[in-house]
């Protein structure tokens, strides 16, 4: 069963017949985590770096922001039996429109937000494909943890 | 390079914008016209009436009581909303089709047009610009040139993507270099054939290079920004991805900050379900 992770959305699963997928990551970032021993996976599709932008919005849609979305992704996976030490972490997205600079470069700011949160929490990234100006689709099969990454205009590769 | 005359001939293959749309736009731009004039023009066109009522009752407009007549719709929604709805109802035919040359599936270009149009409407309100309807229409139809150019983009996909991958060409610049014309230019030619106003043709032509617009620089900048927002959010995204330039200097000179940009983006997810049900209806 395909579980679609929408924009500003997160899903976890331990159903071996399910596959998590998020489409069209532009400047947004997709994070897939997977514990092979527990056969638990999760995926987040967040849009913006900091919930300080709009606290009300962050309460309604915590998966919109890196700082409110990432901790919830990990917690939800732990609740299904995943262990931090066993997690395989894949991060992708954070693209930019050409000539976007400084604060307007939301894709890069999203990347920096992930880095900051992971550094603070000692999370090691196993694979990342970030930046540039492609759109990306990320998928994660819960049965074996195969993680597929497709860039716009190119085929899918397993990472 | 392909013979440009062959490419331009493709415009004739599009379903033209119906006459009723031109009449609606003329009423909108005429200070002496009234809401009754608008209701009359729409009522005389059965397809537009049906589509308008369907759209007005869709989740996009979140009304609890059903709207049953054009007159009622005009009173409840006001002129700008009615014009926007009538335009949307009449623009879907060309944009809903898949555009394989750009890696776009059914409804992708249509979805991108609707979200761009809604974002541009919001920006016009924020900046207190009068030309909201004009910007809305241009944002909706800005990529109509892609429909004409897509088979040529497909034929030269390798050359275009190599130029873009080199890093010194936007997708539109690569189209121009490889094919001899880009989708914005072709979109402008299309709307010229459809007898849109000079301003609208100008906005569509320069939506990726708003700094070059002479007739409507502010309106073009708004369509440019709304398009950028859609690209960043991957809405109706194709093989061209985010490979377009952003005129940050111009956007900042209009008083729009990165916080404004983020707030606009943050407002989109809550509208997406309604937009999807509108797309399913159209």
CB neighbour class for A50 (10 Å; exposed up to 12, middle 13-18, buried from 19): middle
Confidence at residue B278, expressed as pLDDT on a 0 to 100 scale: 79
Give the distance, in angstroms, between the CA of residue B189 and the centroid of all CA atoms in the same chain: 15
Q: What is the DSSP string of B94-136?
A: HHHS-BGGGTB-TTHHHHHHHHHHHHHHHHHHHTT-S-HHHHH
Scanning the structure block, which residue is given the tokens 């606290």? A55
Confidence at residue B23, expressed as pLDDT on a 0 to 100 scale: 86
Q: Does the distance separating the beta carbons of A133 and B232 come in below 8 Å?
A: no
Confidence at residue B202, expressed as pLDDT on a 0 to 100 scale: 97
Query: Residue A52 pLDDT more than 70?
Result: yes
Confidence at residue B260, expressed as pLDDT on a 0 to 100 scale: 95
Residue range B201-225: average pLDDT?
Answer: 96
The sign of the CA dihedral B230, B234, B239, B245 is positive
> Which of B238, B242, B268 lies nearest to residue A97, judging by beta carbons?
B242
Q: Does the distance separating the beta carbons of A106 and B265 come in below 8 Å?
A: yes
Confidence at residue B72, expressed as pLDDT on a 0 to 100 scale: 85
SS3 A40: strand
Calculate how close chain B gets to A110, using CA atoms only, in Å.
12
Copy the structure tokens of residue B277: 């049900």
Return the residue of A nearest to B101 by Cα: A153
> Which of A64, A97, A133 lies nearest to residue B266, judging by beta carbons?
A64
Q: Measured between alpha carbons, how far is residue B39 from residues A8, A110, B45, B49, B71 in Å?
A: 40, 47, 10, 9, 6
Please give the Cα distance from A29 to A128 (Å, whole number).
11
Q: Does the distance separating the beta carbons of A100 and B246 come in below 8 Å?
A: yes
Query: Residue B56 pLDDT more than 90?
Result: no
Confidence at residue B54, expressed as pLDDT on a 0 to 100 scale: 81
Confidence at residue B189, expressed as pLDDT on a 0 to 100 scale: 96
> Which of B241, B259, B269 lies nearest to residue A95, judging by beta carbons?
B241
Confidence at residue B1, expressed as pLDDT on a 0 to 100 scale: 61
> Which of A25, A48, A103 lies nearest to residue B266, judging by beta carbons?
A48
Confidence at residue A63, expressed as pLDDT on a 0 to 100 scale: 98
Please give the Cα distance from B49 to B41 (Å, whole number).
10
Calculate how close chain A gets to B74, using CA atoms only, in Å.
32
- Least confident range of A80-89, B16-25, B200-209: B16-25
pLDDT level of residue A107 (50, 70, 90 thresholds): very high
The percentage of residues in chain B with a pLDDT greater than 90, rounded to a whole number, is 56
Confidence at residue A153, expressed as pLDDT on a 0 to 100 scale: 76
The sign of the CA dihedral A45, A51, A57, A61 is positive
User: Higher model confidence: residue B51 or residue A88?
Assistant: A88
pLDDT one-digit tens code per residue, B120-147: 989 998 999 887 878 988 999 999 999 9
Residue B12 contacts residue B191 (beta carbons within 8 Å): no
Please give the Cα distance from B123 to B83 (Å, whole number).
17
A→B contacts (Cβ < 8 Å), by residue, are 6-8, 23-28, 47-48, 53-54, 57, 61, 64, 95-104, 106-107, 133-135, 151-153
> A66: which chain B residues are within 8 Å (Cβ-Cβ)?
none
pLDDT one-digit tens code per residue, B235-276: 988 999 999 999 999 999 999 999 999 999 999 998 888 888
Calculate how close chain A gets to B127, using CA atoms only, in Å.
19
Please give the Cα distance from A91 to A113 (Å, whole number).
12
A156-158, strands of its sheet edge to edge:
A2-4, A19-25, A136-141, A147-151, A156-158
pLDDT one-digit tens code per residue, B166-181: 989 999 999 999 999 9
Please give the Cα distance from B170 to B233 (Å, whole number).
18
Residue B154 contacts residue B101 (beta carbons within 8 Å): yes
Residues paired with residue B245 on neighbouring β-strands, in sequence order: A98
Query: Residue A18 pLDDT more than 70?
Result: yes
- Give per-residue burial for B179-218: e unless 16+ CB within 10 Å, then b: bebbbbbbbbbbbbebebbebbbbbbbbbbbbeebeebbb
Residue B182 contacts residue B52 (beta carbons within 8 Å): no
pLDDT one-digit tens code per residue, B84-114: 777 777 778 889 999 999 999 999 999 999 9
Give the residue from A28, A92, A134, A154 with the most B CB atoms within 10 Å of its CB, the best one to mutate: A134
| Predicted ipTM of the assembly | 0.95
Confidence at residue A155, expressed as pLDDT on a 0 to 100 scale: 82
Confidence at residue B197, expressed as pLDDT on a 0 to 100 scale: 86
Q: What is the mean pLDDT of chain B?
A: 89
User: Higher model confidence: residue B62 or residue B276?
Assistant: B276
């Amino acid at each position: 069963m395909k579980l679609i992770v929408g924009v500003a959305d997160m899903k976890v699963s331990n159903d071996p017949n399910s596959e998590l997928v998020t489409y069209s990551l532009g400047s947004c970032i997709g994070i897939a985590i997977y514990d092979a021993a527990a056969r638990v996976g999760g995926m987040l599709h967040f849009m913006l770096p900091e919930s300080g932008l709009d606290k009300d919005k962050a309460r309604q849609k915590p998966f919109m922001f890196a700082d409110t979305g990432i901790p919830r992704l990990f917690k939800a996976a732990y609740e299904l039996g995943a262990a931090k030490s066993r997690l395989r972490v894949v991060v992708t997205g954070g693209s930019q429109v050409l000539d976007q600079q400084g604060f307007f470069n939301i894709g890069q700011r999203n990347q920096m937000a992930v880095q900051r949160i992971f550094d603070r929490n000692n999370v090691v990234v196993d694979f990342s494909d970030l930046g540039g100006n492609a759109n990306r689709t990320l998928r994660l099969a819960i049965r074996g943890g195969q993680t597929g990454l497709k860039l716009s205009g190119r085929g899918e590769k397993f990472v | 390079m392909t013979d440009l005359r062959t490419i331009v001939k493709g415009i004739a293959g599009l379903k033209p914008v119906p006459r009723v749309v031109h009449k609606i736009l003329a009423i909108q731009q005429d200070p002496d016209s009234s809401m009754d004039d608008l209701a009359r023009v729409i009522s005389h066109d059965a397809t537009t009436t049906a589509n308008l009522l369907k759209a007005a009752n869709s989740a996009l407009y979140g009304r609890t009581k059903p709207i049953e007549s054009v007159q009622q719709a005009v009173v409840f929604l006001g002129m700008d909303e009615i014009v926007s709805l009538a335009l949307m109802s009449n623009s879907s035919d060309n944009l809903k089709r898949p555009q394989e040359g750009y890696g776009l599936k059914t409804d992708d270009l249509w979805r991108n047009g609707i979200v761009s149009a809604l974002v541009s409407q919001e920006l016009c309100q924020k900046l207190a610009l009068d030309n909201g309807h004009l910007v809305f229409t241009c944002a909706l139809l800005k990529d109509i040139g892609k429909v004409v150019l897509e088979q040529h983009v497909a034929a030269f996909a390798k050359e275009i993507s190599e130029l873009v991958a080199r890093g010194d060409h936007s997708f539109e610049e690569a189209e121009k270099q490889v094919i001899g014309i880009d989708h914005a230019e072709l979109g402008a030619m299309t709307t010229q054939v459809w007898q849109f106003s000079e301003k609208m043709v100008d906005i569509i032509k320069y939506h990726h290079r708003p700094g070059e617009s002479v007739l409507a620089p502010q309106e073009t900048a708004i369509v440019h920004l709304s398009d950028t927002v859609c690209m960043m959010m991957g809405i109706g995204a194709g093989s061209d991805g985010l490979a377009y330039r952003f005129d940050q200097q111009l956007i900042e000179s209009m008083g729009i900050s990165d916080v404004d940009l983020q707030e606009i983006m943050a407002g989109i997810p809550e509208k997406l379900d309604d937009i999807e049900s509108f797309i399913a209806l159209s």
